[in-house]
Amino acid sequence: MTTRILLSKARGDFSATVNRVAYREERIILQRNGKDFVAIVPVEDLEAMEAMEDRIDIAAARKARKEVGIPWEKAKKILAAGSTKKASKSTV
């Protein structure tokens, strides 16, 4: 369950707001100027989100390791050729 409350109200009753999250496992979105500003979530929710992010990062790293690159010597030549072209254009 997600509840939205004004930041000023949460500030005035911070302990109660935190306790709602900690003990009732509520998710609370604090609003400022009528817009969602920040969320307070139980630690278990945060840990689940971080674990999900880790799985996504690992999958991306595995995919990147399978990609075929080019040898460094070839990359240096390509980069050098590009900088030579730029230098000759700027001297014209």
pLDDT tens for each residue of 24-76: 999 999 999 999 999 999 999 999 999 999 999 999 999 998 988 888 999 99
Q: What is the CATH number of the domain that holds 14?
A: 3.40.1620.10
Instruction: Please report which confidence band the pLDDT of residue 84 belongs to, taking 50, 70 and 90 as the band edges.
Output: low
Residues 54 and 74 both lie in one domain: yes
Residues 49 and 83 both lie in one domain: yes
Which ranges constitute the DSSP H helices of the chain?
7-12, 14-24, 43-66, 72-90
Contact 5, 16 (CB under 8 A): no
Residues 29 and 57 both lie in one domain: no
Residues 25 and 55 both lie in one domain: no
Give the Cα separation of 5 and 17 in Å (integer).
9
Residues 58 and 73 both lie in one domain: yes
Residues 36 and 48 both lie in one domain: no
Range(s) of the domain holding residue 68 = 44-92
User: How many domains is the chain partitioned into structurally?
Assistant: 2
Residues 23 and 49 both lie in one domain: no
User: Has this prediction a pTM greater than 0.75?
Assistant: no
Residues 25 and 67 both lie in one domain: no
The residue type found at 14 is F
Contact 21, 28 (CB under 8 A): yes
Instruction: Please report which confidence band the pLDDT of residue 89 belongs to, taking 50, 70 and 90 as the band edges.
Output: low
